[in-house]
Structure 1
């Protein structure tokens, strides 16, 4: 059985200020981790800061903070602050995010993503020593930054990765990888690239889960999620690399602007591979398959509408 059992926060369908009771109950239900996601809703750090006080037993992680949307020094300070508030319980996950979030939403050029992630990781490690950093990296320059808050235990850095280059970077310069939007079987293809960087690397996987939801309803929700994500260029390239040719009709319809046809073109078996749904017991078994194939930290992302309390209880390990 998985040694770690994480869940994504903030939880859906409930205001953040009203989530204290649910998050405080997570350890008693067998959850060990909470991981934030920063896209178009909550930021990455505020929910974790609340969870650090609401449930001090939990490990905290970001999955992920984009390396473009905060300046390097600001990112170093934000992460150091949370690491100081929750010593030994925080892991920083960073990644490129996407051209949509970085470029279209934030007006920042989405350029040289591999180098930007590499440079950010190198800068963070230097900054957390407390020494003055003056360095010209390939993608940015830092002149004279000295961290005023240096955590006693610098957080491990995990890198969000999809294809081989970034996966190997995660294993070589990071403390592990964060993976996303893949099946349990795909994990066998992905993890060896991370392990090239050495043994003991963490692999956290964000897994979309809908327990006890009627199959047609779950697949309808999942199809909308798949079209929203897997038509983004970085995710399309990822699934092309994985050999998921069964998505070709969906991609073609999307390119023609035929949204309904794109939804209908996604085969049920692809939906079932990428989004875990069914009875809660089956969902736990399916997540365990990710662990058996190389994931060290499964992070459940509740994806069905409705109050999350019942789903949290149903998926708990206790």
Structure 2
């Protein structure tokens, strides 16, 4: 069983993660995954982690396929693959129009085509071959990595709905998903198939103050699940009616929805809830520890798996 943690922890400077990262493997963690939204980029925390630990698998969940050119993305990934040979997973995804266009001023190409084309470009580049030609969403002229990674990184796709899950099943090494309940895993797994790795970021709030946990979850859900991609994901999962009132009035997030999508309670309760995701077909839980006013370094230690 794999057991992952999201870094950096909210509010903890990247340099202050070293004591925790050096002990994660001994606690039972197998993976360390970064994110990329509006804080740290996806690569820097993992570069540091590669120097602080030699056991953990390192992954990006995820790098947007629009905000870096294909060559720049390949170079960053190849450098990290060189620092952590055989232990790096490159997670890529379409992100959202808000991040790509609103924040970066870049046109939001059709997400499925762009993700597929970047995936195919990366496979060729990591093999040390020259990439020269037209893809559906871009054209590359005579690019070749100066030093292709000796062990090419696995590539996983951020996937929320059937088309992207099927692309991951056909051409990637697995899929990474987000904002789902333990029972939702079965539906996602059925679309991906049994042969590919399925990872999911799970939002975890270690507190027995239920109202605090729900308030934190309410804010996050209203922020994320009104984004078109996530809204469509939950329509597919069958929550359209449950979320209708929330979409009409952002603050009206049903308590039942919060309790399904945000794991909260004591550390033992949270571990048991995460185990339920695994029992339903998840290979790699990626814990995203939410701040509750307590020390998140200690929270990460408390959420270590019970072996």
Query: What is the TM-score normalised by the length of structure 1?
Result: 0.94
Moved over 4 A (4+): none
Following superposition of structure 1 onto structure 2, how do residues 186-225 of structure 1 map, counting pairs within 5 Å?
186-195=184-193, 199-225=194-220
Q: Deviations over 1:18-59 (max 9, x none)?
A: 111111121121111000000010000000011111121111
Alignment of 1:278 with 2:273, yes or no, is: no
Q: Deviations over 1:151-208 (max 9, x none)?
A: 111011000000100011111111110010110101111111111xxx4311110000
CA–CA distance in structure 1, aligned partners of residues 155 and 25 of structure 2 = 24
**Which residue is equivalent to 2:157?**
159
CA–CA distance in structure 1, aligned partners of residues 275 and 184 of structure 2 = 14
The secondary structure found in structure 2 opposite 1:26 is: helix
The secondary structure found in structure 2 opposite 1:281 is: helix
**Which residue is equivalent to 1:36?**
34
Alignment of 1:242 with 2:242, yes or no, is: no
Question: Structure 1: which 5+ runs fail to align?
Answer: 254-261
Q: 2:224 aligns with which of 198, 223, 229?
A: 229
**Which residue is equivalent to 1:149?**
147
The secondary structure found in structure 1 opposite 2:106 is: coil
Aligned-residue offset at 1:11: 1.4
**Which residue is equivalent to 1:22?**
20
CA–CA distance in structure 2, aligned partners of residues 137 and 92 of structure 1 = 21
Contact 1:36 1:47 in 2 (8 A): yes
CA–CA distance in structure 1, aligned partners of residues 199 and 179 of structure 2 = 12
Following superposition of structure 1 onto structure 2, how do residues 20-169 of structure 1 map, counting pairs within 5 Å?
20-169=18-167
CA–CA distance in structure 1, aligned partners of residues 208 and 102 of structure 2 = 34
The secondary structure found in structure 2 opposite 1:70 is: coil
Aligned-residue offset at 1:213: 4.3
Answer with 285-294 or 299-308: which moved more: 299-308
**Which residue is equivalent to 2:176?**
178
Contact 1:72 1:123 in 2 (8 A): yes
The secondary structure found in structure 1 opposite 2:275 is: helix
- RMSD of equivalent CA atoms: 1.0
Alignment size in residue pairs: 304
Alignment of 1:301 with 2:296, yes or no, is: no
Contact 2:6 2:33 in 1 (8 A): yes
Aligned-residue offset at 1:212: 2.5
